A and B are shown apart, each in its own frame.
Chain A
Amino acid sequence: MTQPIFAYITHKNGVADDSALELIVAAKKIDPSAPVTAIVCGDGAELDAVCTAMAAVYPEVWKVSSPALAYPNAEVVRGVLVNLLPAGAVTLAPHDTFGMDLSPGLSVKLNAAFVPDVVGIEGVDGVTLKAVRQEFGGQVSTHIHCDMASGVVLNIRSGVFQADDSKASGAVVDKSGQAGDCKAKRRFIEVVAAEVGDVDITKSDVLVSVGRGIEEQENISIAQELADAIGAVVSCSRPIVDAKWLEKARQVGTSGKTVKPKVYIALGISGSFQHMGGLKGNPFIVAINKNSKAPIFQVADIGVVLDLLEFVPELTEKIKEMK
């Protein structure tokens, strides 16, 4: 393959995101021999720190420095990348809130193909890139064939391509002069921190977590009673917070809290990657779900395929009797 490969590095406080080490692994699945160039946009000392760190992993690092890039505004970054990227570029970015903001529009402006939320790369055949995606909240997978003749932008799901021990002594090339005017019709103002709640679910060793399968607000008590019986705290998936049945501080996931319990009991949670992304530290996972095909059974240790509304009260009774 002759198309150059680039990885867009996201970073915060002078530290590259975990995705930085995963993108190069994904890139090597496309072409094991291609030199992969990291692109780092930012400003000041933090930018330099990230560039130095990336040069130890990537054979080349393009540094783009501007006060307008001090905060990663995807509208500004897109303009920069359109100016910098050569025709036919293969560009990788993380499928996170930044990549979702940047990549679809970038692909249009580059006249490149776009494959979102990539979970597998099976190689390249001519100009056809073969990738794997998931649909319907991870219930089914699909093989994707993508015509990358005029380039492609790939958003890579985090945690799928495990970082390897890629080492390099790469050169940092300053590309700031070619970045353009860094103007955009969307202007960043500030980040407002998530609200602090009454309970801190990150402090509990055992979580009883409720998902949409709980069906009604009144049924939350079923989870609370189980949690009380075993000395756990109640957490939840996003739809429960959207419905305002529990406060945001109890939400587990990429847009909620990252938790590291010892035991995680998931009640009526399908196991979307955004939910599981908040579960770290390899806990013992028990999934109770009436759909035997629910993706959570692929990651759980123990599964119970039953209606939680019937089973959980029964379980709680038994635990109470036992005590």
Chain B
Amino acid sequence: MEILVCVKRVPDTAENEIVVNGKGTDIERGDLVYSVNEWDNYAVEEAIQIRDRVGGSVTVVTVGDGDSEEILRREMAMGADKGILLSDDAFNGSDGRGIASILKSEIEKGKYDLILTGAQADDGAAQVGGMLAAMLDMPYASLVNKIETGSGNTIGIGREIEGGNQEMSEIDLPCVLSIQTGINEPRYVGIRGIRKVASVEIPVHGAGDLGIAAGSVGAAGAKVKRVDYFVPPAGEGAEILEGSSDEIAEKLIELLKSKGGIK
């Protein structure tokens, strides 16, 4: 099975406090720790496991700047066979649809049986996979937490739905699936693994290589634009307990007692 996995480099929210810059034009990016989007890591792990089961290859692709190469290498260290970086100044400011159409142009240059994305990325949009599928006229399923490969031209999938219930379906190949966390346990990647792939060449494709008309993607082609970043004025909000940790603990115990939180 030829599998393509779309991955994105994002600020790691578990490692960073996200702060809006003075003008509200962006978040402060200076000291951010970046990593591969959590959901994408599960998608790559799933792709590797499928390949190891049924054969074929795994390609990881990202739309980003030069810095995004590092996450391609990380996913190759996990076991992906190839990496492709889609990068061009003309891509800057793309909305979800722009990203999907850039990915589509790359996908049409190859022949893939299965295309995986993460369920969502840092902007919580959960849109690129579904858009990509519609553009490619392939069937789609979101929030997939089980994949059963068979021998024919269909695969069995489970989607996670409300309450943790699982919706089982059969889907024709080729298809696009967005992967939900928990589908597997992504393997650990050590420094040695990353070193091993440090010198593998990663092709970079721009708008020209992909035959993408200027103005159809990027800020110019975007129907949906982010105007600013802001932090909403705190409403009621929590009462923050102040003092030494000893004092805080005492206040908290009193509060918990009064609310029936200590039996």
Partner of A302, one of B181, B252, B262: B252
Q: Assuming A238-B182, A303-B238, is B248 touching A189 (CB within 8 A)?
A: no
* CB neighbours of B126 from chain A (8 A): 95, 100, 104, 116-117
* CB neighbours of A192 from chain B (8 A): 158, 165-168
* CB neighbours of B241 from chain A (8 A): 302-304
Q: Assuming A189-B169, A192-B166, is B245 touching A311 (CB within 8 A)?
A: yes
Within 8 A of B (CB), among A263-315: 263, 265, 270, 284-287, 291-293, 296-306, 310-311, 314-315
Interface centre among A100, A109, A232, A306 (most CB of B within 10 A): A100
Q: Is the CB of A242 within 8 A of B181?
A: yes
Q: Contact flags (1/0) for B126-167 with A, using CB distance below 8 Å?
A: 111111011100111111000000000000101111111111
Partner of A311, one of B27, B139, B248: B248
Q: Is the CB of B249 within 8 A of A105?
A: no
Q: Assuming A146-B223, A256-B164, A297-B238, is B232 touching A105 (CB within 8 A)?
A: no
Q: Is the CB of B161 within 8 A of A140?
A: no
* CB neighbours of B261 from chain A (8 A): 206, 230, 232, 262-263, 265, 284, 286
Partner of B225, one of A78, A101, A146, A315: A146
Q: What residue of chain B has the Cβ atom nearest to residue A99's Cβ?
A: B126
Q: Is the CB of B246 within 8 A of A139?
A: no
Q: Assuming A115-B224, A205-B260, is B175 touching A185 (CB within 8 A)?
A: yes
Q: Bound state CA distance, A302 and B10, in angstroms?
A: 31
Tell me, yes or no, whether A147 is within 8 Å of chain B by CB.
yes
Q: Bound state CA distance, A204 and B126, in angstroms?
A: 33
Tell me, yes or no, whether B170 is within 8 Å of chain A by CB.
yes
Q: Is the CB of B96 within 8 A of A101?
A: no
Q: Bound state CA distance, A311 and B168, in angstroms?
A: 44
Q: What residue of chain A has the Cβ atom nearest to residue B231's Cβ?
A: A140
Q: Is the CB of B262 within 8 A of A137?
A: no
Partner of A143, one of B138, B156, B230, B237: B230
The stretch from A28-36, A57-65, A167-175, A247-255 touching chain B is A247-255
Q: Give the distance to chain B from A215, nearest Cβ to Cβ, in Å.
A: 9
Partner of B130, one of A103, A133, A251, A299: A103
Q: Is the CB of A113 within 8 A of B159?
A: no
* CB neighbours of B54 from chain A (8 A): none
Q: Is the CB of B139 within 8 A of A193?
A: no
Tell me, yes or no, whether A108 is within 8 Å of chain B by CB.
yes
Q: Bound state CA distance, A192 and B241, in angstroms?
A: 44
Within 8 A of B (CB), among A71-87: 73-75, 78
Tell me, yes or no, whether B256 is within 8 Å of chain A by CB.
yes
Partner of A187, one of B96, B169, B181, B260: B169
Q: How large is the interface on A (under 10, 10 to 19, 20 to 34, 35 or more residues)?
A: 35 or more
Q: Is the CB of B168 within 8 A of A189?
A: yes
Q: Assuming A136-B13, A301-B239, A302-B239, is B129 touching A104 (CB within 8 A)?
A: yes
Q: Bound state CA distance, A245 and B131, in angstroms?
A: 34
Q: Bound state CA distance, A285 and B259, in angstroms?
A: 10
Q: Contact flags (1/0) for B28-56 with A, using CB distance below 8 Å?
A: 00000000000000000000000000000
Q: Give the distance to chain A from B215, nearest Cβ to Cβ, in Å.
A: 14
Q: Is the CB of B230 within 8 A of A104?
A: no
Q: Bound state CA distance, A301 and B240, in angstroms?
A: 9
* CB neighbours of B81 from chain A (8 A): none
The stretch from B17-25, B60-68, B201-209 touching chain A is B17-25
Within 8 A of A (CB), among B211-242: 223-232, 234-235, 237-241
Partner of B141, one of A186, A238, A257, A286: A186
Q: Assuming A241-B182, A298-B238, is B224 touching A113 (CB within 8 A)?
A: yes
* CB neighbours of A100 from chain B (8 A): 119, 126, 130, 142-143
Write the residues of chain A forming the contact surface with B, with a CB cutoff of 8 angstroms. Answer: 73-75, 78, 95-98, 100-109, 113-117, 133-137, 139-148, 184-194, 205-206, 212, 229-232, 238-239, 241-244, 248, 251, 254-258, 262-263, 265, 270, 284-287, 291-293, 296-306, 310-311, 314-315, 318-319, 322
Write 9 A-B pairs (CB below 8 A) sorted by A numbering: A114-B127, A116-B126, A133-B123, A141-B231, A191-B167, A232-B261, A257-B164, A291-B17, A302-B241
Which 4 residue pairs of A and B lie closest in terms of their CB atoms, listed nearest first?
A104-B130, A231-B263, A303-B238, A105-B134
Q: Given A141-B229, A292-B240, A319-B253, 6 other A-B contacts at CB below 8 A? A: A100-B119, A101-B130, A114-B97, A314-B249, A319-B262, A322-B253
